[in-house]
A and B are shown apart, each in its own frame.
Chain A
Amino acid sequence: MARYDSDPSSRTGKRLARRIAPLAILIALILFLLGLNGRKPLEGARKPAETLTAKILNIVNMPVRGGEKLVSDIGDHFDTVDKYREAEAETARLRVIEQEYIAAKGEIEYLKNLFGTQIETDLYTSRIGVRAVSERNGPFVYSALINAGTKRGVKKGQAVLTAEGMYGHVIRAGGGSARVLSIRDLNSRVPIMNLRSRSRAIMQGNSSGAPTLKFVGDGDWIAGDEIVTSGDDGILPRGLPIGQVSGAAPDKLRVTLNVKEAIDWMWVQPFTPIASPEEGVSVDLEAAGPEQAQP
């Protein structure tokens, strides 16, 4: 029986429907194929889509976060005494670290004055507080959508941290939202440094909580060594805490990440990378004028 109220439109509609359905699948297939091999089609459409979604998720997430907080508060209520003892022990430990920090800061200031150098010790003084409105821990990607974008100074490439350490870096920044790629993601590569031995390597994400270390060379790596960003890429600042070395064999070195818990509040670390020497030379030549720029 015809589904529509007039036979001609029904026939046309059915004919059209038969043609449109494979066309829609074909368009989807083309989009999928265009995205292969790391290409990024429709990149411009992602930003408004993410900004819109971030705004809606900000509201939709409220009852979810409220519920989680309620459950967490009830749990905390039952072990208040244990939490208080833990906090006391933590305070005692941090007082010692505070004393060490004050002493180290004094030494650094003294050495800076002595050698007249500028060191980036004001790294954490300027940062942008953000909230993750959507975190995706697999199966396809490890990333987070944050509720701040270019309007608040968030730019592509900037590092994103939690209280525990580095979470990832901004891969796309829209007006009111940004996409952060986690250091766990398979596509993540971060140049890192062993804080003890100063050995360098590349940390490669593998969609797990323990990314692998590549290009370790003859470096000195011992399980438990603290790992920080080396800043060798000129994109991330040096010294952002990441985790600790685990494993013994050079080809099986991994990093146990500091950021283990699900994230909520975090901050974006603004950083102005140093321009490459080539860029500096070209700027100098342009400033010198066309005659002097000639060899």
Chain B
Amino acid sequence: MIAGARISLMQAYSYALQGLAIGLCLVILAGVDFKFPGGVISAIFIPAGAIYLWPYRADYGLSVICAMVIGLYQDLALGGPLGLFALSYAVLYALTNPAHQMMPKRKSANLAIFVLWVLGLIALTGVLSAISLGHFPNFMSLVLSGVLSVVMFCGLIVIRDYFKATLSLPDMRRSRQ
């Protein structure tokens, strides 16, 4: 019943801004490099986790702008080609509209969907960087970054569920019918 209640336009905007704030925090997490004996890996696709868990009922138009801003900040702060992630995240949000999708109840199903998202992002950013830089990026490096992003996304889901359970918040995107 709560899930079906109507909300004001301002509330819808504020939900979108919540998503933006979480996304910007995750861009910082994407900037952390993890050193392994074989090299350095960063979870460059983890901001997509914020888009996947976008607040339920956020305004669609503002959410696409927010997704673009998250990508733009990632492009500016982490030194990649300009517009690469801005375009990727905006297209990703516009196509999937995650705030209006019901989230699967099983964690494994969420993980599987996010893996598909990451694969889509790998393909999209690969093509865009080929256009921008004139060469395809290192495929292995992209895949490793994707794997790390998926691993971090699992942690993100656990943290989200923990906070929802601790604060007794209803999970709108799971309860909606």
Partners in one complex: yes
Report which A residues bind B (CB closer than 8 A): 1-6, 9-10, 13, 16-22, 24-25, 27-36, 40-42, 45-46, 49-50, 52-53, 56-57, 60-61, 64, 68, 133-141, 143, 145, 179, 186, 207, 262
**Are the C-beta atoms of B137 and A34 separated by less than 8 Å?**
no
CB distance from B154 to the nearest CB of A (A): 18
Q: How many residues of B contact A (CB 8 A)?
A: 60
Residue of chain B at shortest CB distance from A67: B34
Known contacts A28-B86, A35-B81, A140-B133; is-contact A2 B31 (Cβ 8 Å): no
Instruction: Give the CA-CA distance A22 to B145 in the complex, in Å.
Output: 29
**Are the C-beta atoms of A4 and B61 separated by less than 8 Å?**
no
Partner of B78 from A34, A136, A207 at Cβ < 8 Å: A136
**Are the C-beta atoms of B68 and A28 separated by less than 8 Å?**
yes
**Are the C-beta atoms of A24 and B65 separated by less than 8 Å?**
yes
Contacts of A56 in B (CB 8 A): 28
CB distance from B7 to the nearest CB of A (A): 6
**Are the C-beta atoms of B6 and A41 separated by less than 8 Å?**
no
Is residue B166 within 8 Å, beta carbon to beta carbon, of the partner chain?
Answer: no
Is residue B29 within 8 Å, beta carbon to beta carbon, of the partner chain?
Answer: yes
**Are the C-beta atoms of A135 and B33 separated by less than 8 Å?**
yes
**Are the C-beta atoms of A52 and B64 separated by less than 8 Å?**
no
**Are the C-beta atoms of B64 and A24 separated by less than 8 Å?**
yes
**Are the C-beta atoms of B76 and A45 separated by less than 8 Å?**
yes
Is residue B177 within 8 Å, beta carbon to beta carbon, of the partner chain?
Answer: no
Known contacts A138-B137, A262-B33; is-contact A57 B81 (Cβ 8 Å): no
**Are the C-beta atoms of B138 and A139 separated by less than 8 Å?**
yes
**Are the C-beta atoms of A25 and B76 separated by less than 8 Å?**
no
**Are the C-beta atoms of B60 and A17 separated by less than 8 Å?**
yes
Is residue B83 within 8 Å, beta carbon to beta carbon, of the partner chain?
Answer: yes
Instruction: Give the CA-CA distance A140 to B141 in the complex, in Å.
Output: 9
Known contacts A28-B72, A32-B132, A64-B32; is-contact A19 B61 (Cβ 8 Å): yes
Partner of B35 from A1, A6, A68 at Cβ < 8 Å: A68
**Are the C-beta atoms of A262 and B128 separated by less than 8 Å?**
no
Contacts of B4 in A (CB 8 A): 1
Instruction: Give the CA-CA distance A29 to B132 in the complex, in Å.
Output: 12
Known contacts A24-B64, A36-B132; is-contact A49 B76 (Cβ 8 Å): yes
Instruction: Give the CA-CA distance A133 to B41 in the complex, in Å.
Output: 14
Residue of chain B at shortest CB distance from A261: B35
Contacts of B83 in A (CB 8 A): 28-35
Partner of A4 from B7, B72, B77, B126 at Cβ < 8 Å: B7
CB distance from A40 to the nearest CB of B (A): 8
CB distance from A62 to the nearest CB of B (A): 10
Known contacts A4-B12, A13-B9, A138-B137; is-contact A41 B65 (Cβ 8 Å): no
Instruction: Give the CA-CA distance A4 to B15 in the complex, in Å.
Output: 13
**Are the C-beta atoms of A53 and B90 separated by less than 8 Å?**
no
CB distance from B103 to the nearest CB of A (A): 17
**Are the C-beta atoms of A262 and B40 separated by less than 8 Å?**
yes
Instruction: Give the CA-CA distance A179 to B31 in the complex, in Å.
Output: 13
